[in-house]
């Protein structure tokens, strides 16, 4: 039997994957060729979507980017037996973009049927859970601490320390909340992981429950992710049916329930305390810390809130051991980070690398430069609140410490590339404007400051008392950075300041 | 206590209750505070004021304004001191160049969106934004004022008492949080995000159309002029204040009457007042305009007969007129032919004088009070079972309750400030059992939902309470150790045999009470096993033919489950009038001397006889209903009615009117020409609570000071008027100040031995018993033993009321009250509170309405076996089919024309809560209403002719 793999994640579908799959079935029927199509997640090589793979004796062979109209010719060339040159990319695993990555989180992406627990288990899935089930909670938390895993949602806070706090706080009910609100423009790693390998997240959350004594988990999913929602719902139902969730997790007698909830559609609801409000059915408003959510979290109970990637990584840490995880990365930036290439880039997609390679290598070796072909002028790493780096700074090492030293941040690993046509004052204004639109409105530096920031930048653009206004802008940035209640207002100055610092001439300086 | 006006000190965040102490250093000073105290509060306790806008110590921390940033050694950034808990060894700097600059720059942002009209702003001089701008040294707004702003936001002047001017709003959410945390109404939200965020009542409604109950908590919490009292807008900021106590309900909220000269410009709930802790309701907070209303009568008046015009006379003339008549009556009809009714609205001292006048001056015991018609069964029932005629707890105790049973009480309307405490506890997770024929607000309020709503059929409370007890015994859930140790065993055994009878089982009484047996079983289990359980009950328990029995049943239930004698539990009568507890304590009963001591007890009598230098009649006197009967029989001819409108508030109006009409001398002392005064021969103008000194005692036995804020409008305070009347009657009674009366009370009343005005001023308030054993008062009663020694289980046989629905009168009428109006409404009807409730309405279930062809807004004729009246109908699912409901705030409603003189077997408390009636659609007022209107017009005419001058109009 011939097996063809066609992805079914949001990006591939947007690029015509469903039509391609239909065309393949139709052609096969016409030609009386018996084959099965397995809809996988995606390998995350978006520039090659729709990437169609065929199982051969040497491994999977890839063809792409395929459009429905190409399918007839592919059949003519015998692609279903791995033959033919048309759109042929050779063995999937040998595609340099893929081969040169160090995939942990995305190791199964595009390979397995996302909804098949058997597929998942055949690729090392649930090995971590069975290990964890044999461990005491403290030992589980120790393993996470030992691994050096830091949160992937942006702040890079050590996951083990957060878990320890939850474990140490006595309560009748504790919660695990997965932050799947993925609001940063240009990021998609969370979504892809949930669409391509959902059990990895479910397993990670289950282990988190065992480690901290939480028996209820919630995945707070961005409302614009309908595909991920349906994948998760089915995957959760399957996991319950297979006994991996519920009152007797994998026959251990331990209890963990998990639900997925759709988010409220506001960027600020990705901020953890605001997310908790939203999960409680209130309007998402940032809460002052302390108390930390780990002590007073969801419904006032101790709560672990971690990003999708953070929790998913737990599965591989328990499968392969903390030591293996620790062997990847540099310094205190341990493990891998799936970078997401977007914006004006030739080869967009997921590039999961151990910490320590360079931004240049990412943009040039993987991304192959701008899509427009014009030179790179600026790169914004870490989402809309991340700093702009100029072309001269591309040799920066991809790790938390190097970025912090450059007043920048890796954040959730989003990378948005701009060519030399970009107007940096406009980008700075955009950062303030973004804050105007997305501010929850609770604290004054952000609520009023962002509006004033836009106005001051307009005055600078208009040449009104430019020097005074630049000083005022810098003081405003300082007020927002130090005065804001949360990182929304606190980080907005970073793109603004970096634009001014690296491109002073565009501000009339 | 008179003091210069000064906003109360605000520590920024609520106190921590921890017993662990941490030591930190703030600005070089070592400070010890309880663990969990914020850095801001720790600083404030050391006298260091950190600028703040969003924090206030009545609300949970929020951390939004960022004015309170400080530097803490070893910490990154500039933490907000309000949200940062103090820790051992912390070294804090509240003022550094860096934080100074940051604060100034945040303030600059605020002011870039704020009108610059401080000089014409109503809160000029009392504005936290203004003060804070000063504190941080803001000198310049570099952004200019041309940017995006809210300066054109429209005012909301829909509420009669306060104005919302959003152009001045700094979006600190204090109002929103106050409405949630303090009041529990959740009427306000922040609408929109970011710069567009704004305070919104309801769904972008105005205040009057929203859920707002006008408690004023948001207004008090607002640090700017955005929410401001209209009196302040009109009159300006106060210059001094007087701490006093609300004269409306039995919660007894403490207030600061904030004054300019003799004009009240604001009533601010006093934060240190232990009954209310800084909260209030629309009545006490705003409805004080009646005190200066033009209807106030400010001159004594007399007339020979009630068809005559009133004649304004001097006080002395009035006293002499009254004295002559009263003595004349006694000479003609005998010693017992006169009596008095004391007022539960007046001070303890005044009530004391009235009962003293009766006992020492009239020479009989014909003294009664309005408690007769509300909580006399409480007195009887609790005295019998526990040994003391009063509630067992402090209001604050509810914060430790796990299961709350609210029975025949509607706290959100009748005891609103206690209701706010209760709702807070319920939001924290306490369980709630509501026993009420109506779906009162607590059954389903924002973030509050009753676990059980047991819709008991009116008149069957005893069957219900017995069924609860039966289940507890039946299922072995009783507190065996408590009962064995604390209660009388023979009585318990006897009671146990009684209650175990299957006829008390919920299954057997289901058809009587209308409550499913399973619901009672599950509620009883919850009550017995859910942790600290407390019972709060009201007139829905007492105003029945078996009111006293139900009270005993309630006490039995508390003892049975061991829920008495500590915080969080207890039996709590929700007393109606501000001083009804006090008027009872002060001996306003025909059979009891002050302190609930029987008049027949010679040694108690001797105590008084010695002190007063008289001899006392050992025979109990007449109760109010007996006075009426005797009047109709021609044996009772003179009555001194002190601040109580019996013509409106007592049942069976026809009967009351007949009694009043047959009096030869009715002396009425009141603020207004009330319904009773229309039958009077002598009118002595009363003084409002703002015009005199004294004390009130609230439902938690708390004696609180009432302090004069302005001189009496008519020249004499009520206690002085009573003294004047006494003198004219030749009674030796002289006091220079009410504090001397309190000294006499303390001297003669064992539960008051250590009470004095000085002590009250120092402590703020005291809960009796306050004597040698308990010099600081007694928040919780019956701790180690009951006042009567061992608790007494009284047998509580259910006897159906005679007042039963039948073919002719198929519906049961029950009565209640509403938040904005107070009892007979004499005060609240003379305020803007009418905007919420301007007439009494008859509520009936859609079924019953449909059967009778009655629609919303129709006139409904209500007929009972004693009378009929007409009210507007409201079709509502809040009540069960078969039951109809109304309030009794307006005299023209004639609610008591239909209530019968059925009453409690033990105390004669009228059965207001059950009257069998029939309802029909009508088009005209009832004959009584027409007569009432004509009589009213006649009497108003007689008054108008007498009044030579108009009094000043009310302030605000
Ligand atoms: C404005 C704002 C938006 C955020 N959005 C997200 C988000 O979409 N997804 C996410 O995982 N974390 C987001 N965060 C970070 C979370 O607050 C939080 O740090 C994270 O969920 C913790 O998980 P981690 O420790 O696994 O990173 C956001 C933070 C801010 C200030
Ligand atoms: S910084 Fe902005 S988003 Fe964060 S709490 Fe303040 S107003 Fe809300
Ligand atoms: S007056 Fe009271 S009920 Fe009304 S909005 Fe303010 S706090 Fe809420
Ligand atoms: S109305 Fe007053 S309390 Fe409410 S947010 Fe505005 S300034 Fe704050
Ligand atoms: S009426 Fe009652 S609740 Fe309202 S302010 Fe007065 S004492 Fe308080
Ligand atoms: S007072 Fe601390 S943030 Fe407002």
Domain range list for chain A: 2-99, 127-326, 333-419, 424-507
User: Measured between alpha carbons, how far is residue A326 from residues A145, A336, A396 in Å?
Assistant: 11, 10, 22
CA distance A470 to chain B (A): 12
Q: How many CB atoms lie within 10 A of CB B400?
A: 16
State the DSSP H helix or E strand holding residue B883, giving kind and residue range, or none if neither.
strand B883-887
Measured from the CA of B66, which atom of ligand 6 is nearest? 3
Measured from the CA of A490, which atom of ligand 1 is nearest? 31
Whether the CB of A493 sits within 6 Å of ligand 1: no
Query: CB-side exposure of B524: number of CA atoms within 13 Å?
Result: 27
CA distance A200 to chain B (A): 35
CATH homologous superfamily for the domain A2-99: Glutaredoxin (3.40.30.10)
Given this model, what pLDDT does residue B3 score? 58
* C-alpha Rg value of chain B to the nearest Å: 29
| Chain A contact set for B65 (CB, 8 A) | 443-444
Pairing mode, if any, of strands A175-180 and A303-307?
parallel
Q: What is the CATH number of domain A424-507?
A: 1.20.1440.230
d(CA B490, CA B488): 6
**What is this structure's pTM?**
0.92
SS3 B442: helix
* Among protein residues, the one whose CA lies closest to atom 4 of ligand 2: A486
What is the topology classification, in CATH, of domain A127-326? Answer: Rossmann fold (3.40.50)
| Chain B contact set for A456 (CB, 8 A) | 143
Provide the sign of the torsion angle of the four alpha carbons B409, B413, B416, B419, taken in this order: positive
CA distance B195 to chain A (A): 5
Residue A436 to residue B194, Cβ atoms within 8 A: yes
Asked if B780 contacts B566 with a C-beta cutoff of 8 angstroms, the reply is: yes
Residue A444 to residue B110, Cβ atoms within 8 A: yes
d(CA A317, CA B139): 57
SS3 B435: strand
Whether the CB of A446 sits within 6 Å of ligand 2: yes
The set of protein residues with a Cβ atom below 6 angstroms from ligand 4 is B 169-175, 199, 221-224, 226-227
Query: In this prediction, does ipTM exceed 0.90?
Result: yes
CA distance B105 to chain A (A): 7
Choose which residue among A307, A382, A495 to substitute to test ligand 1 binding: the one with the highest number of ligand atoms within 8 A of its C-beta. Answer: A307
The closest ligand to the CA of B205 turns out to be: 3
Nearest CB to B197; choose among A437, A447, A484: A447
CA of A412 to the centre of ligand 1 (A): 8
Residue A456 to residue B143, Cβ atoms within 8 A: yes
Which residue positions in chain B have pLDDT lower than 70?
1-7, 947-956
Sheet containing strand B694-697, edge to edge, reads: B694-697, B702-706, B766-767
Q: How many CB pairs under 8 A join A and B?
A: 106
d(CA A104, CA A197): 12
d(CA B433, CA B523): 7
Residue A443 to residue B142, Cβ atoms within 8 A: no
Q: What is the CATH number of domain A333-419?
A: 3.10.20.600
Residue B83 to residue A289, Cβ atoms within 8 A: yes
Domains of chain B with CATH codes: 8-136 (3.10.20.740), 162-292 (3.30.70.20), 301-374+580-767 (3.40.50.740), 376-573 (3.40.228.10), 811-942 (2.40.40.20)
Partners of A417 in the beta sheet?
Answer: A343, A379
For residue B149, give both structure tokens.
């702003």
SS3 A68: helix
| Chain A contact set for B142 (CB, 8 A) | 468, 472
Residue A290 to residue B102, Cβ atoms within 8 A: no
**Which chain B residue is nearest to residue A454, measuring alpha carbons?**
B147
Whether the CB of B714 sits within 6 Å of ligand 3: no
User: Measured between alpha carbons, how far is residue A59 from residues A56, A77, A105, B99, B488 in Å?
Assistant: 5, 19, 21, 63, 89
Nearest CB to A448; choose among B61, B78, B109: B109
Mean pLDDT split into 10-residue runs, chain A, 509 residues: 95 95 96 95 95 95 95 95 92 96 96 96 96 97 97 95 98 97 94 98 98 98 96 98 97 97 93 96 91 95 98 97 96 96 96 97 96 96 95 96 96 95 97 95 96 97 95 97 96 97 90
Residue B195 to residue A451, Cβ atoms within 8 A: yes
CA of A270 to the centre of ligand 1 (A): 5
Instruction: Tell which B residues from 50 to 69 touch A, by Cβ distance under 8 Å.
Output: 61-66, 69
For residue B141, give both structure tokens.
């707004």
| Chain B contact set for A450 (CB, 8 A) | 194-195
């Amino acid at each position: 039997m011939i097996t063809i793999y066609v992805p079914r994640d949001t990006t591939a579908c947007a690029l015509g994957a469903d039509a391609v799959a239909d065309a393949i079935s139709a052609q096969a029927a016409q030609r009386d060729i018996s084959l099965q199509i397995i809809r996988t997640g995606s390998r995350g090589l978006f520039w090659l979507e729709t990437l169609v793979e065929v199982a051969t004796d040497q491994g999977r062979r890839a063809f792409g980017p395929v459009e429905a109209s190409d399918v007839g010719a592919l059949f003519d060339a015998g692609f279903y037996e791995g033959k033919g040159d048309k759109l042929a990319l050779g063995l999937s695993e040998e595609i340099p973009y893929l081969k040169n990555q160090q995939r942990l989180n995305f190791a199964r992406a595009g390979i397995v049927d996302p909804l098949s627990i058997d597929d998942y288990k055949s690729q090392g899935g649930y090995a971590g859970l069975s290990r964890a089930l044999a461990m005491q909670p403290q030992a589980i938390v120790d393993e996470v601490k030992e691994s050096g895993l830091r949160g992937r949602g942006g702040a890079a806070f050590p996951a083990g320390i957060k878990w320890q706090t939850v474990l140490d706080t006595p309560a009748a009910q504790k919660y695990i909340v997965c932050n799947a609100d993925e609001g940063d423009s240009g990021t998609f790693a969370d979504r892809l992981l949930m669409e391509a390998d959902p059990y990895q997240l479910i397993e990670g959350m289950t282990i988190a429950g065992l480690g901290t004594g939480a028996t209820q988990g919630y995945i707070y999913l961005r409302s614009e992710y309908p595909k991920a929602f349906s994948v998760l719902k089915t995957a959760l139902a399957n996991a319950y049916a297979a006994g991996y969730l519920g009152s007797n997790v994998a026959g251990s007698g331990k209890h963990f329930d998990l639900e997925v909830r759709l988010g409220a559609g506001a960027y600020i609801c990705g901020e953890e305390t605001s997310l908790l409000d939203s999960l409680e059915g209130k309007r998402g408003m940032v809460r002052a810390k302390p108390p930390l959510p780990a002590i007073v979290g969801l419904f006032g109970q101790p709560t672990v809130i971690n990003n999708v990637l953070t929790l998913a990584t737990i599965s591989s840490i328990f499968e392969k051991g903390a030591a293996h995880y620790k062997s990847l990365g540099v310094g205190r930036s341990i493990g891998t980070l799936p970078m997401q290439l977007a914006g004006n880039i030739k080869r967009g997609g997921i590039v999961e690398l151990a910490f320590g390679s360079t931004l240049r290598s990412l943009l040039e070796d993987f991304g192959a430069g701008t899509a427009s072909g014009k030179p790179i002028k600026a790169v914004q790493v870490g989402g809309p609140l991340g700093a702009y780096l100029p072309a001269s700074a591309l040799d920066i090492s991809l790790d938390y410490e190097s970025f912090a030293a450059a007043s920048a941040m890796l954040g959730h690993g989003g990378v948005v590339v701009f060519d030399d046509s970009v107007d940096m004052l406009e980008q700075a204004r955009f950062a303030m404007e973004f804050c105007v639109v997305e501010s929850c409105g609770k604290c004054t530096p952000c609520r009023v400051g962002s509006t004033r920031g836009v106005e001051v930048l307009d005055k600078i653009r208009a040449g009104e008392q430019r020097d005074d206004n630049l000083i005022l802008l810098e003081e405003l940035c300082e007020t927002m950075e130090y005065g804001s209640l949360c990182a929304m207002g606190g980080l907005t100055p970073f793109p603004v300041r970096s634009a001014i610092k690296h491109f002073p001439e565009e501000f009339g300086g | 206590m008179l003091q210069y006006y000064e906003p109360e000190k605000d520590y920024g965040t609520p106190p921590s209750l921890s017993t662990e102490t941490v030591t930190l250093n703030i600005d070089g000073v070592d400070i010890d505070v309880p663990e969990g105290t914020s850095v801001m509060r720790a600083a404030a306790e050391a006298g260091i004021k950190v600028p703040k806008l969003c924090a206030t110590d009545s609300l949970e921390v929020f951390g939004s304004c960022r004015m309170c940033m400080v530097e803490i050694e070893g910490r990154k950034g500039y933490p907000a001191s309000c949200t940062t808990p103090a820790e051992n060894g912390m070294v804090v700097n509240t003022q550094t160049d860096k934080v100074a600059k940051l604060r100034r720059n945040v303030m600059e942002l605020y002011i870039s969106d704020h009108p610059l009209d401080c000089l014409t702003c109503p809160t000029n001089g009392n504005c936290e934004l203004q003060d804070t701008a000063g504190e941080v040294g803001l000198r310049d707004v570099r952004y200019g004022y041309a940017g995006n702003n809210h300066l054109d936001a429209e005012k909301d002047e829909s509420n009669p008492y306060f104005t919302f001017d959003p152009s001045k709003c700094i979006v600190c959410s204090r109002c929103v949080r106050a409405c949630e945390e303090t009041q529990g109404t959740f009427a306000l939200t922040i609408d929109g995000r970011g710069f567009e965020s704004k305070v919104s009542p309801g769904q972008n409604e105005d205040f009057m159309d929203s859920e707002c109950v006008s408690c004023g908590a948001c207004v008090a919490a607002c640090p700017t002029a955005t929410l401001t009292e209209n009196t302040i807008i009109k009159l300006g900021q106060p210059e001094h204040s007087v701490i006093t106590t609300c004269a409306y309900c039995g919660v007894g909220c403490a207030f600061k009457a904030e004054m300019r000269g003799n004009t009240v410009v604001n009533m601010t709930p006093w934060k240190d007042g232990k009954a209310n802790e800084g909260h209030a309701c629309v009545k006490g907070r705003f409805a004080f305009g009646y005190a200066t209303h033009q209807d106030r009568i400010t001159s004594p008046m007399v007339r020979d007969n009630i068809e005559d015009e009133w004649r304004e006379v001097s006080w002395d003339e009035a006293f002499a007129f009254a004295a002559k008549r009263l003595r004349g009556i006694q000479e003609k009809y005998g010693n017992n032919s006169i009596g008095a009714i004391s007022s539960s609205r007046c001070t303890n001292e005044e009530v004391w004088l009235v009962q003293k006048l009766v006992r020492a001056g009239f020479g009989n015991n014909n003294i009664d009070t309005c408690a007769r018609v509300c909580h006399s069964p409480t007195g009887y029932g609790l005295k019998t079972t526990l040994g003391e005629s009063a509630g067992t707890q402090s209001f604050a105790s509810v914060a430790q309750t796990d299961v709350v049973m609210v029975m025949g009480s509607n706290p959100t309307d009748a005891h609103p400030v206690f209701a706010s405490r209760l709702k807070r506890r319920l939001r924290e997770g306490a369980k709630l059992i509501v026993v009420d024929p109506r779906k009162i607000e607590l059954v389903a309020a924002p973030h509050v939902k009753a676990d059980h709503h047991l819709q008991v059929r009116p008149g069957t409370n005893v069957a219900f309470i017995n069924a609860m007890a039966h289940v507890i015994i039946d299922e072995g859930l009783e507190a065996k150790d408590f009962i064995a140790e604390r209660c009388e065993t023979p009585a318990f055994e006897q009671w146990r045999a009684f209650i175990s009878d299957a006829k008390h089982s919920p299954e057997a009484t289901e058809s009587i009470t209308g409550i499913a047996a399973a619901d009672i079983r599950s509620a009883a289990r919850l009550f017995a096993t859910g942790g600290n359980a407390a019972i709060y009950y009201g007139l829905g328990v007492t105003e029945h033919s078996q009111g006293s029995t139900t009270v005993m049943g309630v006490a039995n239930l508390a003892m049975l489950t061991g829920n008495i004698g500590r915080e969080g539990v207890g039996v709590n009568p929700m007393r109606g009038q501000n001083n009804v507890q006090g008027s009872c304590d002060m001996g306003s009963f025909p059979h009891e001397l002050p302190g609930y001591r029987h008049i027949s007890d010679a040694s108690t009598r001797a105590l008084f006889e010695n002190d007063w230098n008289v001899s006392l009649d050992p025979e109990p006197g007449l109760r109010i209903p007996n006075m009426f009967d005797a009047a109709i029989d021609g044996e009772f001819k003179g009555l001194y009615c002190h601040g109580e409108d019996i013509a409106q508030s007592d049942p069976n109006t026809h009967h009351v009117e007949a009694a009043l009409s047959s009096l030869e001398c009715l002396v009425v002392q009141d603020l207004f020409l009330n319904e009773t005064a229309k039958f009077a021969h002598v009118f002595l103008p009363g003084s409002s609570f703002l015009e005199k000194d004294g004390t009130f005692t609230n439902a938690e036995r708390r004696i609180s000071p009432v302090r004069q804020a302005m001189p009496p409008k008519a020249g004499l305070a009520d206690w002085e008027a009573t003294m004047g009347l006494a003198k004219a009657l030749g009674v030796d009674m002289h006091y220079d100040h009410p504090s001397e009366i309190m000294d006499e009370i303390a001297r003669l009343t064992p539960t008051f031995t250590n009470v004095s005005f000085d002590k009250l001023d120092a402590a703020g308030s005291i809960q009796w018993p306050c004597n040698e054993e308990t010099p600081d008062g007694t928040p919780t009663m019956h701790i180690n033993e009951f006042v009567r020694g061992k608790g007494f289980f009284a047998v509580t046989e259910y006897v159906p009321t005679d007042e039963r629905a039948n073919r002719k009168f198929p519906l049961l009428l029950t009565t209640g009250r509403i938040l904005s109006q107070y009892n007979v409404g004499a005060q609240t009807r003379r305020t803007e509170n009418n905007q919420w409730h301007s007439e009494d309405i008859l509520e009936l279930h859609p079924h019953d309405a449909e059967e009778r062809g009655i629609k919303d807004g129709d006139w409904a004729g209500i007929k009972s076996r004693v009378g009929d009246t007409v009210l507007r109908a409201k079709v509502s699912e809040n009540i069960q089919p078969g039951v109809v409901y109304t309030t009794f705030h307006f005299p023209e409603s004639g609610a008591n024309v239909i209530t019968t003189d059925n009453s409690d077997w033990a105390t004669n408390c009228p059965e207001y809560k059950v009257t069998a009636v029939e309802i029909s659609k009508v088009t005209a007022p009832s004959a009584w209403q027409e007569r009432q209107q004509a009589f009213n017009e006649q009497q108003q005419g007689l008054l108008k002719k007498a009044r030579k001058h108009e009094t000043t109009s009310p302030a605000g």
